Structure 1
Amino acid sequence: MRVIIAEDQAMLRGALSALLDMEDDIEVVGQAANGEQALALVAEERPDICLLDIEMPLMSGLDVAERLKAEQSSCRVVILTTFSRAGYFQRAIRAGAKGFLLKDSPIEELAAALRSVYEGGRAVSPELALTFWEAENPLTEREREVLKLAAEGLSAGDIAKRLYLTAGTVRNYLSEAIQKLEAKNRIDAIGIAEKNGWLA
């Protein structure tokens, strides 16, 4: 199988590439340091699998997965992460990712996961699976959007202008989000949502 690795840490990217290349049935055909390079490589090399880090410059691994899904690419996506955040997992699944693995997984586990995905299966690190099924995002899409803009420092009035809502409606959404997250205030709600990856 032909694989592309997208990871912004050069040392980790090189190590993963070298270790996976030692497997008889895996060939690393490209390495990318950011999401935009990853998309260009997928278009150029037509790999079977793209191994994507979540946190990358220019475009995150989740952004790349969503773009590949929109383009109906045949390249299967496996997400590599250090974060066990339920929100990231849910977004990755919606984006069509077939695998979600921890970066510190043993290379044998990673290779086995890639084979499983290549054969049409799915692969999720066991340590991550329990966390994800237990923590559903309670926020609606609109509440998430409003809270995300609040996290960027926008006032209720600014958020209202950005989303073509009234300031009162924005305050209602913020209030709902605070209640659902059992937060003390807006700042607390933003912290809880970010920790769980629900603003991803």
Structure 2
Amino acid sequence: MIRVLIADDEAMIRSALVALLNLEPDLEVIAECADGAQALETIQQVKPDVCLLDLEMPGLDGVEVVEQLHKKLVNTRCVVVTRHARPGVLRRALASGVAGFLPKSRGAGEVAQVIRQVANGARYVDPEIAASALSQEPSPLTARELDVLRAGKKGETTTQISKALLLAPGTVRNHISTILAKTGARTRQQATDIALENGWL
């Protein structure tokens, strides 16, 4: 029996998935969570074989949950599902150690099959998303510019970013100006959103 945890902030979708997956003879949903922080805590407690994580959740998103699990050396296999299957997000997900990635448009039978594959040690990436990811342009931002965006992802001030990266505040401001020019964003937050959407962060 494959023990599954489902995390999705949309109650109707979560309930439907729990009901449908529990109909599968070899799958058992042992926990369901409404956000990323709850999922992270519950995964460490119940140790499911496979986690089905929504990408867009409040607090920690699905990929951030996987990143935290890897830092804590928890080796539960994770599948991320998303309504907005952008190629850049796929790159970010794979870099975090996600074992499966598919859009929410897939049926419960297909989701169950992906869970089985992942539980058996395979990786699964939706073919359409994979094809789009291969054709997407790489990030125009340098590694240091990405560091600046990463350090300010939660709205940190220029001073806080400069302390975190051991850079002068003026240097951080210069990086931010360059980032805005390269991304066409009006604000640092907008540039961060663009970078996340494209999977550069």
Structure-1-length-normalised TM-score: 0.83
After TM superposition, give the deviation of residue 47 of structure 1 in Å: 0.9
Which letter does structure 1 place at the counterpart of 2:19? A
Give RMSD over aligned pairs.
2.7
Rounded to whole Å, the distance in 2 between the matches of 1:71 and 1:143 is 27
Equivalent residue letter for 1:39: L
Alignment counterpart, residue 193 of structure 1, candidates 166, 173, 195: 195
Match of 2:121 in 1: 120
Q: What letter is aligned with 2:9?
A: D
What whole-Å deviation, never above 9, does each CA across 1:91-143 have from its counterpart, x for those lacking one? Answer: 22122110011111111221111111111111111221122222333323431
Is residue 174–residue 186 contact of structure 1 (8 Å, CA) maintained in 2? Answer: no
Partner of 1:165: 167
Q: Using a 3 Å threshold, how does the CA distance of structure 1 residues 87 and 28 change in structure 2: closer, same or farther? A: same
Q: Given that residues 151 and 190 in structure 1 are in contact (C-alpha distance below 8 angstroms), is that contact kept between their aligned partners in structure 2?
A: no
CA distance in 1, matches of 2:144, 2:86: 20
CA distance in 1, matches of 2:38, 2:68: 13
User: CA separation in 2, counterparts of 1:144 and 1:134?
Assistant: 21
Question: Measured at CA, do residues 112 and 184 of structure 1 come closer, stay the same or move farther in structure 2, by a change above 3 Å?
Answer: closer
CA 1:137–1:75 in 2, change beyond 3 Å: closer, same or farther?
same
* SS at structure 1 position matched to 2:102: strand
Cα pair 1:87 1:137 within 8 Å, conserved: no
Q: Is the Cα contact below 8 Å between 2:90 and 2:129 reproduced in 1? A: no
Distance 1:110 1:56 in 2: 19
Supply the AA of the counterpart residue of 2:80: I
The alpha-carbon distance between structure 1 residues 87 and 184, as it changes in their structure 2 partners (threshold 3 A), is closer
**Structure 1 residue ranges without an equivalent (≥5):** none
Post-superposition offset of 1:161: 5.1
Q: How does 1:55-134 map to 2 (within 5 A)?
A: 55-134=56-135
Name the stretch that deviates more: 111-120 or 10-19: 111-120
Q: How many aligned positions are there?
A: 197
Structure 1 residues 11 and 191, CA gap change in structure 2 (3 angstroms): closer
